[in-house]
Structure 1
Amino acid sequence: MAKPLILVSNDDGITSKGIRVLTEAMTALGEVIVVAPDSPQSGMGHAITIGEPLRLIPSDLFEDIGVDAYKCSGTPADCIKLAKHHVLKDRTPDLVVSGVNHGSNLAVSVLYSGTMSAAIEGAIEGHPSIGYSLADFSHDADFSHTVEYIQKIAKEVLENGLTKGVALNVNFPPKQNQKIQGVKICRQAKAHWEEEFDHRKDPYGRPYFWLAGNFVNNDKGEDTDVWAVDHNYVAVVPCQYDLTAHHAIAQINDDWDI
């Protein structure tokens, strides 16, 4: 039987440590092709490039493990679109995976995440898709404990599929002395960022701003992605691109006089 075709992307860029970990993990499961940004695209959300040309250049970064790769000048969503229309052409991926992101994508962060946007784009195109993130922003973050679960979750999706239009948001706790406790299928925590803008001046005296802030979680539920990662579980949240607030339709129809 033919091996599953697996498309790999990310938002940290094709040279990142996380995409190397993910690509190597996927080679044990199928035929792998990488299409990833040529530079970091964190926080780009689901942006696409429409006002300037996109460049797609073959890369030999994964030649040592026998994987064809391409670096793209665009966003993570651009990478998935170009993979479908140009790189894969008449082939359809059995799985789209994105990551492993250097830093978590918990709660509302999923909306800003380029990692998850690549996965969501895969779901929009009709492919089972997963975004992986590690809750460790340190420069020398250890990804080794993620591999076992990256493969387990990907195998489950390849064997059982996903509901159409759904992508999985998977977050790993940072490497600790204790072993990961297991996997929790969760909801997205009702948590948010309280932003601050640090007002600074450049060497020429011109003002600029640097985004900062604190993550605030007032959700005390033990069924959330934040709780799971805080308690050393792998958090898996099924996400969808349909943002319709179905519960609000009746209220608006009842209350509005238009």
Structure 2
Amino acid sequence: MTEKPLILVTNDDGISAPGLRTLISVMNSIGEVVVVAPDSPQSGMGHAITLDSTLYAERVYMDDGPQIEYSCSGTPADCVKLAIRELLDRKPDLCVSGINHGSNSSINVIYSGTMSAAIEAGIEGIPAIGFSLLDYKWHAHFDASKKYVKTITKQVLKNSLPNGIVLNVNIPNISEEHVKGVKICRQAKANWVEEFDKRKTPQGKDYYWLSGKFVNLDDGKDTDEWALEQGYVSVVPIQFDLTAHQFIKNLNTWNLND
């Protein structure tokens, strides 16, 4: 009898997030599931890791599923590191992160704790996928996500991924019957135009709230932003080698040794 794949599940919205609970339920139909997730929301943490304080991981029992679960005091990247080095008895066959409450398309991938957890697994040579639903509400409806999460996960287990590549999957916030399918995309060129709302405490000290708007600067029809706007699930293969290989030849013409 073939051994079930060991699947590590994590997220950045916290151990009790409905998106994580949905992801766990789907993964339970595919393999043996171990969950290591933050004990509180860690959105926007990027690839932060804990260096100057203690880490805790506590066994928890959130529902009646067969999965083993740990609540971790650290960041999403911490969760993956701790799972691999301390909590699991063998290397996972797959790591899935999410389902994030909100978009991780385009430039959002840089800031995302969801995707950083997947990338951390990829660094360790584990095939990894980050899943996100374009709905920031805590009680978002994840039913339309289940079909695509399951299909993409099974395809990654079947075909694997090259070393250094992880998948960034974003799902539009529409009903399942209106999702047109899956598009393989590139990351759109976009950014956040940020503003700070400056206020004062009763003691007269300045403080700030970050706000802003997302601006898509890319009119290509092969991007994740275009696919999502058209009602498709976007799948972007991303890499954690940030080298601008195309610029190395040019840079070598600079006189940097004087």
Q: TM-score range by the shorter chain?
A: over 0.9
Q: How does 1:222-241 map to 2 (within 5 A)?
A: 222-241=221-240
TM-score (normalizing by structure 2):
0.97
**2:62 alignment counterpart:** 61
- What's the CA shift for 1:200? 1.3
Paired residues for 1:1-258 under 5 Å: 1-62=2-63, 64-89=64-89, 91-176=90-175, 178-258=177-257
> Distance in 2 between the 1:199 and 1:20 partners?
37
Question: What is the Cα deviation at residue 176 of structure 1?
Answer: 3.7
Q: Which range moved further: 40-49 or 194-203?
A: 194-203
Q: CA deviation at 1:242?
A: 0.5
Q: Which amino acid aligns with 1:33?
A: V
Distance in 1 between residues matched to 2:201 and 2:234, nearest whole Å: 41
Q: Once the 2 structures are TM-superposed, how far is the Cα of residue 257 of structure 1 from its aligned partner? A: 4.0
Aligned residues: 256
The one-character-per-residue Cα deviations of 1:17-52 (angstroms, maximum 9, x if unpaired) are 100000000000000000000000000000100101
Structure 1 contact 199–207 (Cα < 8 Å) conserved: yes
Q: Matched residues in 2 for 1:139 and 1:67: separation?
A: 22
Distance in 2, matches of 1:257 and 1:124, equals 31
Query: How far apart, in 1, do the equivalents of 2:156 and 2:230 lie?
Result: 24
Are the equivalent residues in 2 in contact too, given 1:182–1:233 (CA < 8 A)?
yes
Contact 1:142 1:175 in 2 (8 A): no
Deviations 1:120-152 (A, max 9, x none): 001000000000001111343211100000000
Q: Alignment RMSD, CA only?
A: 1.1
TM-score, normalization by structure 1: 0.97
- How far apart, CA to CA, are the structure 1 residues paired with 2:67 and 2:202? 45
Equivalent residues of 2:144, 2:175 under 8 A apart: no
Identity %: 55
Runs of 4 or more, structure 1, over 6 Å off, are none
Distance apart, 1:225 and its partner CA = 0.6
Deviation at 1:177, TM superposition (A): 7.5
SS at match of 2:71: strand
Unmatched tracts of structure 1, length 5 or more: none
Secondary structure of the equivalent of 1:199?
strand
Query: Which amino acid is the alignment partner of residue 154 of structure 1?
Result: T
Partner Cα separation in structure 1 for residue 180 and residue 232 of structure 2: 5
1:69 aligned partner, one-letter code: E
Q: Which runs of 5+ in 2 are unaligned?
A: none
